[in-house]
Amino acid sequence: MAHWVMARTTRSAWFVPFRMPEAEQIEAWFEERAAEGWAPGELRATSAIRFALHRDESAARYRYVVDQRPFPDAEGDIAIEAAGWEEIGQLGGRDVWRRPYEGERPGSFSTESLVERRWHLSRAFAMASGLAFVVAIAVFAVGTTAAGEDQSVVVMTAAIAVLVGVVCAAVAAGITRRTARQVALDDSRPRPG
């Protein structure tokens, strides 16, 4: 007579953010479950009360981060994803991210690194704006001095370059404003200790 043993593939986690109010506690708890072979499914609004852990037989170890940014935004999320993090949902109103790793446990992403990336992005758009304006001036200067009856192509090309420059400048200004607000907010928050 054969005995079939069915391994459990799902288990529930109850009231996690209430039992562990500190982000570091939740991160450590997720990482301990991952080391045991359990990974959370997608976290939703009700996950603060209950969510499911699924059996994950993969050999990957995960670094979890409970996002401490007071106002997460799309630009910051793009930068985090570009660094190899995967958002798995919300737990108690805070985004939870994970990243597989081998070897040494990676550090967390920080608001400072995201602000630095935004400054670089803002500078890149500002430089693209300047380049577009230079191209517009060059096209107009060369095109109007060149022999020819039809100047409409020159004017249209210069106008498009100016439009690209204005759009890039507006994007750079928007990123700069949001970044400055984030820096001001971070500076106004009380520091521990």
pLDDT in tens, 104-116: 888 776 555 566 6
Element (H, E) at 39: strand 38-40
What six digits make up the tokens of 1? 């007579």
Of residues 155 and 53, more confidence is placed in 53
Tell me how far apart the alpha carbons of residues 184 and 70 are, in angstroms, rounded to a whole number.
12
Beta bridge partners of 95: 90
What six digits make up the tokens of 121? 């992005």
What six digits make up the tokens of 35? 């080391």
Of residues 7 and 45, more confidence is placed in 45
Q: Reply yes or no on whether the pLDDT at 185 is more than 70.
A: no
| Look-up of token digits 């209430």 | 18
Residues 6+ apart with CB under 8 A from 141: none
pLDDT in tens, 28-87: 999 999 989 999 989 998 999 999 999 987 767 899 998 877 677 787 788 888 888 999
Q: How crowded is residue 113: how many other Cβ atoms within 10 Å of its Cβ? A: 15
How much of the chain is in helix, strand and coil states, percent to nearest 5? Answer: 55, 20, 30
Provide the residue count of the chain.
193
The per-residue pLDDT of the chain, averaged, comes to 79
pLDDT given for residue 51 in this prediction: 93
Tell me how far apart the alpha carbons of residues 88 and 92 are, in angstroms, rounded to a whole number.
13
pLDDT given for residue 117 in this prediction: 66
Per-residue pLDDT band at 189 (split at 50, 70, 90): very low
Q: Identify how many contiguous H helices and E strands the chain contains and give both numbers.
A: 5, 6
